Amino acid sequence: MPPPADIVKVAIEWPGAFPKLMEIDQKKPLSAIIKEVCEGINGTNTALVRTDFCFYLGNPPQNRNDIKNGSILRLTTSPYQTAVQLHERIQSSSMDAKLEALKDLANASRDITFAQEFINLDGISLLTQMVESGTERYQKLQKIMKPCFGDLLSFTLTAFVELMDHGIVSWDTFSVAFIKKIASYVNKSAMDTAVLQRSLAILESMVLNSQDLYHKVAQEITIGQLIPHLQGTDQDIQTYTIAVINALFLKAPEEKRQEMAHILAQKQLRSIILSNVIRSPTPINDEMAHQLYVLQVLTFNLLEDRMMTKMDPQDQAQRDIIFELRRIAFDVDCDPNNSGSIEKRKSMYTRDYKKLGFINHVNPAVDFTQIPPGMLALDNMLYFARHHQDAYIRIVLENSSREDKHECPFGRSSIELTKMLCEILKVGELPSENCHDFHPMFFTHDRSFEEFFCICIQLLNKTWKEMRATSEDFNKVMQVVREQIMRALTLKPNSLDQFKSRLQNLSYTEILKIRQSERMNQEDFQSRPILELREKIQPEIMELIKQQRLNRLCEGTCFRKISSRRRQDKFWYCRLSPNHKVLHYGDLEECPQGEVPHDSLQDKLPVADIKAVITGKDCPHMKEKGALKQNKEVLELAFSVLYESDEYLNFIAPDKHEYCVWTDGLNALLGKEMTSDNTKSDMDTLLSMEMKLRLLDLENIQIPEAPPPIPKEPSNYDFVYDCN
């Protein structure tokens, strides 16, 4: 006889005691259930009961019917009671009691349910008041109780950061006095490390989450006050400092960014980062790599204005730049009033502009009306002509002396190359929230983009000669040059000289060898028998890929919680049960080094309850507005699991590979097709390997396109052996 549907068997946990199996009758009033549970644990005080699914039995009675057989309930203090107690304790007149209370508050604030209760008690306002005025009376004790004061302030700010990180309270509610106080901790030369970290994190969040607060913070903090924090040896402080600089850069109005870049150059930010961070003996961690990547992207985005500015053919100042290119190349006087008829001068200009490789020989200004790259291409050409004059003159004269069909057009090449480099470096795009792809070589020169161009335009000229190209081969040359640049960048050279030397090793001949090798490895057999064999093998390979995806889901993955801040990240882990029936997930204090056991993950989601897998911009957490949330890379890593009627479990994968693994695995669990890029790639790779293995015995044997003809029937069957 099946047990009654209203009776639920659960395990009750209490700190310091073994779990106890109990039956809960869902028909009984909630108060009666709580009383039974508490009496069953040796008469424990009537605290609330919390399940691994974050459901509460108590006031209010939320999701009570979601507790199922086998759930593990943890008996713990009510978040409301804890919030009330801590709210009182942090106002204690005793220094020691206050310190202990703030320490407990900093730990408890990580839980969103507790945070909601504490915020409802106006806890945020209390903490800000303590920062604005309450800490001043303790500053008098700072000389005799400096460690205690540092800890007190550190725990206060930590609790504040944790509470704000839940997104319950708007950042716009804070006063100028609070901002000034936080800024003062950053501006002080000698400040407790933990206090400095929290203060920098608060300033970054303020700037990113409120345009109004950006203006207030920008008035209190200057780049000059932040620079000293980069010159220390603490990489965490350096990371927080660069994060604040990035936030100020990102939120600055368009007209202010160039001014800010000029100040950064004056303060030698680039060389300070190069010396104290990139070339530091301390290895660069992922968060620092991300902040350097963001700074790199924001710096290159300063080029967007010139990239999207068309040249005005009637603007004499802009036309003078083209005259300057001609003067440097051919060492001629560009004074328009010099001797000679107008027709003669026009003819001479047309001849020289053709030698310079412009498409429009009569009025080369027209060439720069294409956006992108707009005026940025002309800026690069002028920089190359002035700072690498010998190389510039050599390229122009060398090509002007060749036969027309083999000359490499410098003007056209420069314009297309500038456009290509902007695409490679994604100029104008917002930085990705998950990318760490910074290039050390771009921090070795104040004009790194221009120097990058100068190296690449010389590479283009060299590759053109190696390919013996003509004007019809222009696009082919550009494709080869792009491949050379991308392969060299993949090696992450530490300097521009190292980048240049690696390009020397990637000659056109070497690119051909690499392409041939890759083509042989990805050889596609197109004959009919081979195609039939592929079709026969394909279901086996797909099943193999499916099992691999499910095995990876069983191992699990650590995901970062969606937050407005990146430092002090919150992590959560999700993995599939070995029987493929339940998703186990739960919060973690830090990113684990290996697998996380199922029993340490408090929450569960039965696979049978999953309705659909949603990806990209359709995910609910991608519909929120944020400074960095709507960029392309984050959208490509987002997916959500829909269960019940409108409940979601939201993910942002650490990288594209994990995204493909999880979306494939979840679709496989739902009996749907696996359609990720990785599945297609794995299918091609495994099919190719399997085909080669099966065809080993047929090496050097011609495989016919059609099956051999069926032979005629024999004239007699005397050769048949009669078994009877």
**Which runs of E-coded beta strand occur in 247-371?**
none
Greater model confidence, 219 or 74: 219
Residue 54: the pLDDT is 36
- Unique residue bearing structure tokens 């068309």: 310
Mean pLDDT on 454-478: 94
Average pLDDT value over all residues in the chain: 84
Band the pLDDT of 674: cuts 50, 70, 90. Answer: very high
- Phi, psi (deg, nearest 5) at residue 383: -60, -45
416-453 as b/e: b if 16+ CB within 10 A: bbbbbbbeebbbbbbbbbbbbebbbbbbbbeebbbbbb
pLDDT given for residue 149 in this prediction: 59
Does residue 87 contact residue 123 with C-beta atoms inside 8 Å? yes
| pLDDT band at 694; cut points 50, 70, 90 | confident
Query: What is the pLDDT confidence band of residue 187, given thresholds at 50, 70 and 90?
Result: confident
Between 339 and 716, the higher pLDDT residue: 716
Question: Per-residue pLDDT averaged across 313-338, rounded?
Answer: 79
Give CA–CA dist 534/231, Å, rounded: 60
What's the whole-number mean pLDDT along residues 268-286? 92
Residue 19 has pLDDT above 80, yes or no: no
Strand order, beta sheet including 638-643: 610-615, 638-643, 647-652
- What is the phi/psi pair of residue 108, to 5°? -70, -25
Superfamily of segment(s) 95-305: Leucine-rich Repeat Variant (1.25.10.10)
pLDDT reported for residue 407: 87
pLDDT of residue 40: 67
Task: At 390, list the tokens.
Answer: 């010998």
**Residue 118 has what pLDDT?**
93
pLDDT for the residue numbered 628: 43
Give the residue-averaged pLDDT of 522-551. 82
Residue appearing with tokens 């679709």: 667
- Sequence spans of domains, the chain: 7-77, 95-305, 308-332+340-518, 538-680
Residue bearing the bigger pLDDT, 230 or 76: 230
In single-letter form, the type of residue at position 434 comes to N
Q: 189: which DSSP letter?
A: S
Q: 538-680 is classed in which CATH architecture? A: Roll (2.30)
Contact 114, 83 (CB under 8 A): yes
pLDDT at 150 (0 to 100): 65
pTM of the model: 0.75
Please determine, for residue 550, whether its predicted confidence score (pLDDT) is greater than 90. Answer: yes
Evaluate if residue 7 carries a pLDDT over 90: no
Over range 296-320, report the average pLDDT. 91
* Residue 721: per-residue pLDDT: 67
With a cut of 60, say whether residue 147 has pLDDT above it.
no
Long-range residue pairs from 592-596, CB within 8 A, at least 24 positions apart, any chain: 592/558, 595/555, 595/556, 596/556, 596/558
More confident: 222 or 150:
222
In angstroms, the CA 382 to CA 442 distance is 20
Band of residue 475 on the pLDDT scale cut at 50, 70, 90: very high
Least confident of 47-51, 158-162, 203-207, 380-384: 47-51
- Segment 113-140 shows an average pLDDT of 80
Q: What angle do CA 14, 19, 24 make, to 5 degrees?
A: 90
Q: Any residues with CB less than 8 A from the CB of 504 and at least 6 apart, and which? A: none
Confidence at residue 723, expressed as pLDDT on a 0 to 100 scale: 65
The reply to whether omega before 373 is within 30° of 0 (cis) is: yes
Residue 521 has pLDDT above 70, yes or no: no
Mean pLDDT across the stretch 68-85? 80
pLDDT (mean) for 621-644: 71
| Predicted confidence (pLDDT) at residue 53 exceeds the cutoff of 80 | no
Find how far residue 273's CA is from the centre of its chain. 21
Residue 56 confidence (pLDDT): 42
Whether the pLDDT of residue 601 is over 60: the answer is yes
Mean pLDDT confidence for 714-721: 76
Average pLDDT score over residue span 589-608: 80
Residue with tokens 């510039």: 392
pLDDT above 90: percentage of residues in the chain: 44
pLDDT of residue 647: 85
Lowest-confidence segment of 327-341, 353-367, 566-580 by average pLDDT: 327-341
Range from 34-38, 96-100, 690-694 that averages highest in pLDDT: 96-100
> Range with the lowest mean pLDDT among 242-251, 338-347, 482-491?
338-347
Q: How much is the average pLDDT of 273-284?
A: 93
Which residue would you say has higher pLDDT here, 530 or 103?
103
Rg (the chain; Cα; Å): 34
Q: pLDDT grade, residue 35 (50/70/90)? A: confident
CA distance 401 to 626: 56
Pair 618, 639: CB distance under 8 Å = no
Q: Are strands 647-652 and 638-643 parallel, antiparallel or unpaired?
A: antiparallel
Average pLDDT on 253-269 reads 88
Which class is domain 7-77? Answer: alpha beta
pLDDT confidence bin for 531, thresholds 50/70/90 = confident
Q: Going along 129-191, which residue ranges are E strands?
A: none
Question: 57-61, 299-303, 483-487, 490-494: which has the minimum mean pLDDT?
Answer: 57-61
